């Protein structure tokens, strides 16, 4: 039941996203990005992203329609995040592999087809 509700929620989210995505590419994009003027062939490529990220698209579109400009942004936060990401992975990956090996069954798992078997 929970799984079914989750699937329905995802479908509803994507349905709303698709409607907003179509509105965006047909009615709004020309007003917020000069490089889109007269450019149509690339617009279908945007639909999946607009559908997936519609809340973010909504926030950015409203900000741009209100004429808000983006301040000069330092990239140091992203560079620091990049370093932290790899330090985190340097811990996570060996731990995950050691744990996986230590718990691994000594022989190959049965090869019969069974729902949920590791493909």
Partner 1 sequence: MSVKYVPVSWTTSKKLYDAGLIAGIALYLLAFSHFAIGAVDDQALRIRALGSCAFLLLSLVLAIGPLARLDRRFLPLLYNRRHFGVITCTIAAGHALAVLGWYFAFSPLGPYDAMLVADIGSGHLRGVPFIPFGIAALLILLVLAVTSHDFWLSFLTPKLWKALHLGVYAAYGLVVLHVAFGALQAQRAFEIEVTVCALGLVALHLWTGFREGRKPRMAAAAPSGLVHACKLGDIAEGRAIVVRLTDADPVAIFRHEGRLSAVSHLCAHQNGPLGEGRVIDGCITCPWHGFQYRLEDGRAPPPFTERIATYRLHLTGDDVMLDPSPNPPGTYVQPLEPA
Binding site for partner 1 (CB under 8 A): 3-4, 6-7, 32-33, 35-39, 41-42, 45-46, 48-49, 52-53, 56-57, 60, 64, 70, 72-79, 81-83, 85-86, 88-90, 92-94, 96-97, 99-101, 103-105, 108-109, 111-113, 115-119
Nearer Cβ to partner 1, position 27 or 103? Answer: 103
In terms of DSSP H, where are the helices of 24-118?
29-32, 43-52, 54-65, 76-102
Compute the least distance from the CB of residue 16 to partner 1, in Å.
Answer: 17
Burial call 43-62: b when 16+ CB within 10 Å, e when fewer? beeeeeebbeebeebeeebe
Nearer Cβ to partner 1, position 22 or 64? Answer: 64
Number of Cβ within a 10 Å radius of residue 22: 14
Question: 53: closest CA among 12, 18, 101, 83?
Answer: 18
Compute the least distance from the CB of residue 83 to partner 1, in Å.
Answer: 6
Tokens standing for residue 16: 């709303």
Compute the least distance from the CB of residue 20 to partner 1, in Å.
Answer: 14
Tokens standing for residue 39: 């450019």
Compute the least distance from the CB of residue 51 to partner 1, in Å.
Answer: 8
């Amino acid at each position: 039941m929970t799984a079914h509700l989750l699937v329905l929620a995802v479908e509803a989210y994507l349905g709303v996203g698709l409607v907003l995505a179509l509105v965006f590419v047909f009615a709004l994009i020309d007003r917020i990005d000069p490089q889109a003027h007269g450019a149509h062939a690339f617009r279908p490529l945007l639909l999946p992203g607009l559908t997936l990220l519609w809340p973010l698209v909504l926030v950015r579109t409203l900000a741009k329609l209100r004429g808000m400009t983006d301040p000069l942004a330092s990239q140091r936060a992203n560079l620091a995040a990049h370093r932290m990401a790899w330090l985190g992975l340097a811990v996570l990956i060996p731990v995950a592999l050691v744990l996986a090996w230590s718990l691994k069954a000594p022989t190959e798992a049965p090869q019969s087809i069974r729902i949920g078997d590791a493909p």
